[in-house]
Amino acid sequence: MNRLQLIENIFSKKSVLCVGLDTDLTKIPVHLLESEDPAFEFNKAIIDATKDYTVAYKINTAFYEAQGIKGWVSMEKTLNYIPKDIFTIADAKRGDIGNTSEQYAKTFFHTYPFDSVTVAPYMGADSVKPFLQFQDKWSIVLGLTSNAGSADFQLQQCGEELLYQKVLRTVASWGTPENIMFVIGATRKEQLQEVRQLLPEHFFLVPGVGAQGGDVDTVCRSAFNKEAGLLINVSRGIIFADSSASFALKANEQAGKYQKEMAAFF
């Protein structure tokens, strides 16, 4: 999916909602465990319940890889079920030396045709650039994350700037706002506006809203630009909002609530 298509869908739905499909089999409604493919049946119901409010789905591959071959099958079925006009993210956090990154890129852009994949930049340009060779595909590079351990490296001084600032500025020079996004955590409220000033045109994938304490209003006021420029991810706050047989109805309600908050900024 190219940038224009993504922006058109965002403005059509007046939404920047990304639903995270972090499908933990220990948390899904018990009755689904009796089905042949519990993860897919859960995801299918969540997608049906939220697709009218959602512009992106983020599949956290760890929850599928942990299940072995069955998990990969569930992931592929889920990817194929997502409507084609909705942006898809493989949250795989890959990144290795060049020839290995080339294979990771083929995995998530050809074998499993996601629109984007999350990438770790620690190994430098040759670990990221192979992902940038695919037309209408995106690398979503870890920039400023919302976990407690991010302070160990990201917030450390690196010359005259912090390390995360150097990462953002350097990685941005390897591609364009047409093929690079950045992960910017919603719980880093004090840095959201500063990061937007540093990268005025790039899209940000923003986790941390809902269960982790971030909120839509703060994120949008700090980082919304003329093309929206955001994908705000909510996982647990939508997909695990209810554990009963009515889980999909509750997911629909929660997704609608988030979309309504986002619509105020269009």
List, by residue number, the catalytic residues: 93
Give CA–CA dist 144/162, Å, rounded.
11
Token pair for 116:
């984007």
Handedness of CA 217, 218, 220, 225 (dihedral sign): positive
Identity at 186, one-letter amino acid code: A
- Note whether 146 and 183 are within 8 A (CB): no
Give CA–CA dist 105/17, Å, rounded.
25
Secondary structure of 66-115 in HEC code, one letter for each residue: CCCHHHHHHHHHHHHHCCCCCEEEEEEEECCCHHHHHHHHHHHHHHCCCC
The answer for 82, left when phi > 0, alpha when psi is -120 to 50, beta otherwise, is beta
Token pair for 207:
């986790």
- Note whether 89 and 56 are within 8 A (CB): yes
Give CA–CA dist 192/197, Å, rounded.
9
Instruction: Compute CA distances 49 → 115, 171, 178, 192, 247, whole Å.
Output: 22, 36, 30, 30, 9
- Note whether 163 and 155 are within 8 A (CB): yes
